[in-house]
A and B are shown apart, each in its own frame.
Chain A
Amino acid sequence: MTEISDPGIHTERVVEMKSPSVADMETIAKRVRRHIISMTGRAGSGHPGGSLSAVEVVTTLYFRVLRHDPRHLDWPDRDRFILSKGHAAPLLYAVLAECGYFPSEELASLRQINSRLQGHTDRTRTAGVEMSAGSLGQGLSFSIGVALAGRLNGKPYRVYTLLGDGECDEGQVWEAAMAAAHFKVDNLTAIVDRNDQQIDGWTRDVMDLEPFSSKWQAFGWHTIEVNGHDFTQLADAFDQARLIKGRPTVIIAHTVKGKGVSFMENNPHFHGIAPTAEEMELALKELA
């Protein structure tokens, strides 16, 4: 679709989608967590830990912040969500299904042969996926391109990019951090899922990122730190980011890896290992 849609129509639709209360959001988040556990458990592989940590961030974006329309994937004015930490694909698929991009039943096909739901995101296969990811460090750069195109085309859309904290080991993230400030892309908001863990353990032990917030500030970004599991704080942060002009904003969302399942929380084992059948049953009980 190349024609410019009537923004009035979409505004109405968006208002309709933006109404959920915090209680509603909590209900959606719980369903998303259950999807993540079931999908990875059934697939026997995948990345539950870093999917569970960012549930509130991505739920807030799709149900409160983004102007998007599952019925018009190519709507030129849509806000873009770029998942840079592509291993959190189960989270994105679960939220997209909750929004109606595809039926929830399809989530069961994660990582299966001929499935649209690839192990890491693939923009050529899945409705609503903006970028092929999985090789870390590329999403922020990609988002700069999307943001620059929006500016060149006079489009009002905003770009939201989710990075992992471990991902910030990649040098390209900092090339992009420098470039985003240089090009003054204030229509770009990055969110870092600061769960303090990566595959090999705690980030402070593997490759210390601190002083993390100061680094972003030094690169020219407006920086906000929030509890990444608090819907109100997240909503306020996104509202604030929209008002910052002349520079990009990063929201450092402090989260817990494996959040919501007692034995997965802060357990790096579940970065890239799916729950067993017994663990899946236990986890779904906790999330009932």
Chain B
Amino acid sequence: MTPDASLREAYGKTLTELGRDNKDIVVLDADLCRSTMTQFFASEFPERAFDCGIAEQNMVSIAAGLAASGKIPFVSTFAVFAPGRCFDQIRMSIAQPRLNVKLVTTHSGITVGEDGVSHQSIEDIALACSLPGLTVIVPADAVETTQAIRVAAATHGPFYVRLCRPKLPLLYDEDYHFELGKAVVMRQGTQATIIAIGTRVAAALEAADNLKQEGIDCRVLNMPTLKPIDEAAIIQAAAETGAIVTAEEHLEHGGLGSIVARVLAKHHPVPVEFVAIKDTYAESGSPAELLQKYGLTADDIEQAVRSVLTRKNSA
């Protein structure tokens, strides 16, 4: 098993490296720089780091003003506070004018754990993807995080990058090449395709391993860019495997599953099952307990594959 690595730490270190080469990169935080790990940047470039205090709306609009004046602001807080707490500021100050602001949030989903509902962002993908012009990325490991941050810095326009709190298994070698807007085939397969994001990619691979022993051959796609979505990869998976399971640490409404279903409904309808949080809020608990209680484990993905195959085969 590959060792676990922190996505947040990869973000903080990459940001600092970028800051050495590009003096236009500035960082804004809302009293959470030790958690989001922008502290590395702040300690090396204090004149380019702005702690805005616990005032996310103000922070986001300040970032817009910096971007309108040629800076490349990276704005960080917990995913539950942006876009949730400052949605209108992101909409009017950043997305509509397509300003070059990079929102990089951490502690997304329910694996934030014991802090409970107030800190568990399960709606942020729906909110972010609803905004015209915003590019939305959910990396699945530390290597992908590093590359996604580099791409975000180098690509003009507003980005939302969603990171998680726990360390995740390394899925990629250092020679991995992240491509904006492209799905990554993690494993080839013929009978069904699991499309996963973020923390659920490792779970999807585990599920595919277990299903293999039952004689079920699953393709696994990592879908790091949610917007713009890789329609071709989804259509190809549907055409070649005839059944899809999506897996995400987010509400079923408006997340990866909704996006995939929209693409399939339009271009290539096949049976789909959704591994996601059903229409409810979670609670305090350990990440493992929460993933189990709210139905997001490898086991749940396996069950969803069996269900979707039953539907496919009875069609």
Is residue A176 contacting chain B, with contact meaning CB distance below 8 A? yes
Q: Are A138 and B53 neighbours in the complex by a CB distance under 8 Å?
A: no
- Please determine whether B96 and A132 come into contact, CB atoms closer than 8 angstroms: yes
The 0/1 profile, CB within 8 Å of B marked 1, for residues 96-134 of chain A is: 000000000000000000000000001110000011111
A146 contacts B58, C-beta separation under 8 Å: no
Stretch in contact with the other chain, from A148-156, A195-203, A210-218: A148-156
- Tell me the minimal C-beta distance from A161 to chain B in angstroms: 10
Q: CB-CB < 8 A to B57: which residues of A?
A: 137-138, 141, 171-172, 175
Q: Which residues of B contact A148 (CB under 8 A)?
A: 26, 50, 62, 65-66
A282 contacts B by Cβ under 8 Å: no
Within 8 A of B (CB), among A135-181: 135, 137-139, 141-150, 152-153, 171-172, 175-176, 178-179
Given known A-B contacts A175-B55, A183-B50, A138 and B61 have beta carbons under 8 A apart:
yes
- A145-B63, A172-B61, A175-B57 in contact; A138/B93 too (CB < 8 A)? yes
Does B66 lie within 8 Å of A149, measured CB to CB?
yes
In the complex, what residues of A have CB within 8 A of residue B98's CB? 124
Of the residues B65, B88, B89, contact of A149 by C-beta under 8 Å = B65
Interface centre among A123, A137, A145, A171 (most CB of B within 10 A): A145
A72 to B45, CA, bound (A): 33
* Residues of A close to B228: CB separation below 8 A: none
Cross-interface CB contact of A172 among B58, B65, B66, B69, cutoff 8 Å = B58
Contact among A132, A150, A171, A176 for B69, CB-based, below 8 A: A150
B93 touches A149 (CB 8 A): no
Give the interface residue-count category, chain A: 20 to 34
- In the complex, the chain B residue whose C-beta lies closest to that of A161 is B65
Residues of B within 8 A of A176 (CB): 58, 61-62
Asked if A124 and B62 make an inter-chain contact with CB atoms under 8 angstroms apart, the answer reads: no
- Return chain B residues, CB-CB under 8 Å to A143: 65
Measured CB to CB, the nearest residue on chain B to A155 is B69
* A182 to B55 Cα, complex, angstroms: 13
Which positions 66-109 of chain B face chain A at CB distance < 8 Å? 66-71, 73, 88-89, 91-93, 96-98
Across-interface contacts of A133 in B (CB, < 8 A):
92
| Chain B residue, CB-CB nearest to A150 | B69
Per-residue CB contact flags for chain B residues 25-66 toward chain A (1 = under 8 Å, else 0) read: 010000000000000000000011010110101111111111
Contact, CB under 8 Å: A124 / B96: yes
Bound complex: CA A141 to CA B57 (Å):
8
| Cα(A144)–Cα(B92), bound, Å | 16
Instruction: Please determine whether A141 and B61 come into contact, CB atoms closer than 8 angstroms.
Output: yes
B53 touches A178 (CB 8 A): yes
Given contacts A153-B70, A172-B58, contact A132 B92 (CB under 8 A): yes
Whether A145 pairs with B47 at a CB distance below 8 angstroms is: no
**A123-B68, A150-B69 known; A142-B96 Cβ under 8 A:** no
Query: CA–CA, A145 to B72, complex, Å?
Result: 11
B residues within 8 A CB of A175?
Answer: 53, 55, 57-58
Whole-angstrom distance between the alpha carbons of A123 and B67 in the complex? 13
B58 CB → nearest A CB, Å? 4
Are B50 and A142 in contact, with the CB atoms below 8 A? no
Q: Which of A19-68 contact B (CB under 8 A)?
A: none
Q: Verify B64–A145 contact, CB threshold 8 A.
A: yes
Do A141 and B66 have beta carbons less than 8 Å apart? no
Within the complex, what minimum Cβ distance (angstroms) separates A101 from chain B?
17
Interface string of B209-227 (1 = CB under 8 A from A): 0000000000000000000
Residues in B whose Cβ lies below 8 Å from that of A152:
26, 47-48, 71
CA distance A284 to B133 in the complex (A): 42
- Residue of B with least CB distance to A86: B92
CB-nearest residue of chain A to B98:
A124
Residues of B near A137 (CB, < 8 A) are: 57
Contact of A138 among B47, B50, B69, B92 (CB under 8 A): B92
- A sample of 19 cross-chain residue pairs with beta-carbon separation below 8 angstroms, ordered by A number, consists of A124-B96, A124-B97, A131-B93, A141-B58, A141-B61, A141-B65, A142-B62, A142-B64, A142-B65, A145-B73, A146-B68, A148-B65, A149-B66, A149-B70, A172-B57, A175-B58, A179-B52, A182-B53, A183-B50
Known: A139-B61, A145-B63, A179-B53. 16 other contacts (CB 8 A): A124-B98, A131-B64, A131-B65, A132-B96, A132-B97, A133-B92, A135-B92, A138-B57, A138-B64, A141-B64, A141-B65, A142-B68, A145-B67, A146-B65, A148-B26, A172-B57
